[in-house]
Amino acid sequence: MIGENPLRFDEKGLIPAIIQDAFSHQVLMLGWMNQEALDLTRSTGLVHFWSRSRQRLWKKGETSGNLMQVVEISVDCDQDALLVRVLRRGPACHTGMVTCFHNPMNTENAA
């Protein structure tokens, strides 16, 4: 729980976490946290996620060294999403790009 009301995790026990650069305000990535990932993020000051594909906890940057240090965590008005403002060390995306949101939507990748 952050704030007055309990967080609203989904039916799988997850909550989306939008990761934002604390200086540039650029959205870096979106990840998913379960309660344990959130607790680790808060206690260590480094961003942790729940990997839906690998079904395990992971610390952002654990293999790349591109760690993200937490500056602030905010909760949206519905208590079902987090905004995590960070100081980043290196790119956020596994492709080496600063942000995971580097692909503009066009007719080829639109739904």
Q: Express each pLDDT in 5-50 by its tens digit.
A: 799 999 999 999 999 999 999 999 999 999 999 999 999 999 999 9
pLDDT of residue 42: 98
* C-beta separation of 90 from 64 below 8 A: yes
CA distances (Å), 88 to each of 5, 40, 98, in order?
A: 29, 17, 9
CATH class of the region 15-88: alpha beta
Decide if pLDDT at 107 tops 90: no
Question: Which residue ranges make up each domain of the chain?
Answer: 15-88
CA distances (Å), 96 to each of 34, 62, 99, in order?
A: 26, 15, 8
